[in-house]
Chain A
Amino acid sequence: MPIIELKEISKIFGFGDATTLALDEIDLVIEKGEFVAIMGPSGSGKSTLMNLIGLLDRPTYGSYKLGGKDVSRLRTNQLAKIRRDRVGYVFQSFNLLPRLNVLENVALPLVYKGVGANKRIKTASALLERVGLSDREYYLPKHLSGGQTQRAAIARALVNSPDIIIADEPTGNLDSESSRVVMELLSDIHKLGNTILLVTHNPELTRYVNRVVYMHDGVIVHDENTPIGEVPKLARKALNLFQRKTEEDDLAGVSALMKAIPTKHTTKKPRAKAKKPTSRSKSMKRIKK
């Protein structure tokens, strides 16, 4: 059963001449229990896609079904409630509240759910034990190392037993050892049956996932399944190419990472700053249908 179903999702930012087409008719289906890595250069629309899937934002066009329920036209407060009950976030910059201790941070989503104090502490405590931080419950986030902070953040993401976990560059601020611990933790969580979306620049991390989605200029350019434990060729290649980026590429403003990826379109896609009329008329047609 698909947990996430995106159909012809578009997202447009800005007005008039400053219009940016961040996502261009994305179709994506993610099954329950998948561990998906989303790769792409900066500005390729990864974060916008994650914000939409994580219900922090709404698509301009298209439909989004989360667990079979259409959530693309809900109001902000309804979105907040679904976020609370069904989405867990892990951020690159951890985003724990600095004035709350680790236990309180982990229990915070339960506060918004209206769970009683005793049960909150019990649940949060159990999760902290699971991520190996039971001896740090009363520490403030600033007294933890980066890896410990991210593990606490993962515990917070899990506290509501969400349907999907969105990890946006979870290892971006961590050293390699902490990265490994965090990724293995995510991997364990995946093995328990959770659906995880991982946004990353680092091809090495794709060894933990079973599917990789490549994005470029607001479209999905490639989507492949990959056995866990292996870094797919394309990602490896992208890594190599990324390292051998030329000065010309910089000047051209084209990411070398994407050069190696065969595009689905024969003609070159327009840059992210698309002309508004074309996309609008396309969408209009779709609405008329």
Chain B
Amino acid sequence: MTMTGVILGVLSVITIVSIGEGVKRQVVGQINLLGSDLISVRPGNLVTRDKNGNIVKVNQIGNFAFGSGSMSDSDLETIKSSSGVKTVVPIGLVNSGVKLDDVQYNQSLVIATNDKFPAMLKQTITHGVFFDDTDSNKHVVVIGRRVAENLFAENVPIGRTFTIRGTEFVVIGVFEEFNYSPLAYGTDLNQAIAMPYAAGQELTGHNQLAQVLVRPESVDQTTAAIASINKKMTLAHGGQNDFTVLKQDENLSVVSDILKVFTAFISGVAAMSLLIGGIGIMNIMLVSVTERTREIGIRKAIGATNRQISEQFFVEATILSATGGAIGIGLAFVVNAVLRIVTHLNPVISLEVVLISAGVSIALGIVFGVIPAVRAARKDPIEALRYE
């Protein structure tokens, strides 16, 4: 009970920091994998930039995963026509209505894209094939691992059919496991059902573009390509800046910006609970000092100096808070393991954060142990011996 505050404080600090660290590593890993020349165009004005084009603020945290705003087929053409652009991959969202034998499957992420999707994301197909441009309006899909496991309950459901919005589709391939979330943080591509762009258009009337992935002709031309896309898009949108062009490394700063908000919030909560925890420890120590007045009297009578008495209570307070910290750290590892299992976050607990938490919890005992220790030391031995 006494240690709850410390435990929760340490637990939340370690957990949030480890999630942040995990996300950053994932994004960095993703950048290394996908190459720094990958450009993504998204609807909505997501970031504010300063004069030099550096991101100073992330605008729509809630909408970031798949922004509202509008990007349509005409924008796709605009981007294609920009200079320095080599390949363009549209990611259209099809509001799913996935059914297999009348069983609804809601976890999937149904996207409409083109044949360059695997190459763009450097993703391989383990079984079957990805659709090529000759399949562009055929009702075929390539599915992620989870979809195969959860919807079809088999690893290679190639040739099996299911329906999306009442239209029948055939599985022609299964993706290799996606280790990253290249489209937006938090989307699990292992739940993806990818269909040809034209098929998606046929299904929904028009494609709502969640994102357009662009690769320039060479790495050196990345900046030029971005400038060109920006210029053409702004023109096409009548001067309105309701879209966002991001480089891969900017993804990192966007993600860390979002994390900063969470981290600040959780840190506040953690600081509060550490403070409460410290006060709790002080409280229990004061109670203990009072309850053990007689013990203090005895110890003093047999020759304990004030310093030795205060040391005793000081050490007890520190042990209390350090134990709380240790439990908090232990729980953080448990939470970490749980998070790894149930979510696709890969939280990383660094040695640094563990050492800092341990240090903080010990410091807490030292700070809040002072008053009880001093109070114990100041007790008059005669009075203390009389205490019942």
Residues of A within 8 A of B (CB): 51, 54, 56-57, 76-77, 80-81, 83-85, 87, 89, 91, 95-97, 108-109, 112-113, 156, 160
Overall SS of chain B's interface: helix
Pairwise interchain contact A95-B381, C-beta atoms closer than 8 A: no
* Complex CA distance for A109 and B306, rounded to whole angstroms: 14
Option from B299, B303, B382 in Cβ contact (under 8 Å) with A81 = B303
Pairwise interchain contact A89-B382, C-beta atoms closer than 8 A: no
Pairwise interchain contact A81-B295, C-beta atoms closer than 8 A: no
Task: Name 18 interchain pairs, CB-CB below 8 A, sorted by A.
Answer: A54-B301, A56-B385, A80-B304, A80-B306, A81-B305, A83-B300, A83-B301, A83-B303, A84-B303, A84-B304, A85-B303, A95-B301, A96-B298, A97-B295, A108-B299, A109-B303, A112-B299, A112-B302
B47-78 at interface with A (beta carbon < 8 Å): none
Residues of B within 8 A of A51 (CB): 382
Option from B300, B303, B307, B382 in Cβ contact (under 8 Å) with A160 = B303
Residues of B within 8 A of A156 (CB): 302
Option from A57, A76, A77, A109 in Cβ contact (under 8 Å) with B302 = A109
B293-337 at interface with A (beta carbon < 8 Å): 294-295, 297-308
Pairwise interchain contact B294-A95, C-beta atoms closer than 8 A: yes
Option from A91, A96, A97, A112 in Cβ contact (under 8 Å) with B303 = A112
* Complex CA distance for A97 and B294, rounded to whole angstroms: 9
Nearest to A77 among chain B residues (CB) is B305
Pairwise interchain contact B303-A77, C-beta atoms closer than 8 A: no
Pairwise interchain contact A77-B307, C-beta atoms closer than 8 A: yes
* Complex CA distance for A80 and B294, rounded to whole angstroms: 16
Pairwise interchain contact B382-A112, C-beta atoms closer than 8 A: no
Residues of A within 8 A of B306 (CB): 76-77, 80
* Complex CA distance for A91 and B300, rounded to whole angstroms: 14
Asked, given contacts A51-B382, A95-B294, A97-B295, whether A56 binds B303 with beta carbons under 8 Å apart, the answer is: no
Residues of B within 8 A of A160 (CB): 303
Residue of A56, A80, A91 most packed against chain B (CB within 10 A): A80
Pairwise interchain contact B305-A112, C-beta atoms closer than 8 A: yes
Residues of A within 8 A of B295 (CB): 97
Nearest to B304 among chain A residues (CB) is A112
Nearest to B388 among chain A residues (CB) is A93
Pairwise interchain contact B307-A95, C-beta atoms closer than 8 A: no
Closest CB in chain A relative to B305 CB, distance in Å: 4
Residues of A within 8 A of B297 (CB): 95
Residues of B within 8 A of A54 (CB): 301
Nearest to A94 among chain B residues (CB) is B298
Closest CB in chain A relative to B262 CB, distance in Å: 45
Closest CB in chain A relative to B199 CB, distance in Å: 77
Nearest to B300 among chain A residues (CB) is A80
Nearest to B308 among chain A residues (CB) is A112
Pairwise interchain contact A57-B382, C-beta atoms closer than 8 A: yes
* Complex CA distance for A271 and B220, rounded to whole angstroms: 105
Pairwise interchain contact A108-B302, C-beta atoms closer than 8 A: yes
Closest CB in chain B relative to A89 CB, distance in Å: 5
Top 5 nearest A-B pairs (CB, nearest first) are: A84-B303, A80-B305, A109-B302, A77-B305, A83-B303
* Complex CA distance for A89 and B382, rounded to whole angstroms: 13
Q: Interface digits, B274-303 against A, CB 8 Å rule (1 contact, 0 not)?
A: 000000000000000000001101111111
Pairwise interchain contact B385-A95, C-beta atoms closer than 8 A: yes
* Complex CA distance for A80 and B302, rounded to whole angstroms: 8
* Complex CA distance for A56 and B300, rounded to whole angstroms: 8
Pairwise interchain contact A80-B303, C-beta atoms closer than 8 A: yes
* Complex CA distance for A189 and B297, rounded to whole angstroms: 25
Pairwise interchain contact A89-B307, C-beta atoms closer than 8 A: no
* Complex CA distance for A96 and B294, rounded to whole angstroms: 10
Residues of B within 8 A of A77 (CB): 305-307
Pairwise interchain contact A83-B302, C-beta atoms closer than 8 A: yes
Pairwise interchain contact A95-B298, C-beta atoms closer than 8 A: yes
Residues of B within 8 A of A80 (CB): 300, 303-306
Residues of A within 8 A of B307 (CB): 77
Closest CB in chain B relative to A120 CB, distance in Å: 13
Residue of B300, B303, B306, B385 most packed against chain A (CB within 10 A): B303
Pairwise interchain contact A56-B302, C-beta atoms closer than 8 A: no
* Complex CA distance for A80 and B380, rounded to whole angstroms: 12
Nearest to B384 among chain A residues (CB) is A56
Closest CB in chain A relative to B300 CB, distance in Å: 7
* Complex CA distance for A89 and B303, rounded to whole angstroms: 10
* Complex CA distance for A211 and B382, rounded to whole angstroms: 26
B92-128 at interface with A (beta carbon < 8 Å): none
* Complex CA distance for A87 and B303, rounded to whole angstroms: 9
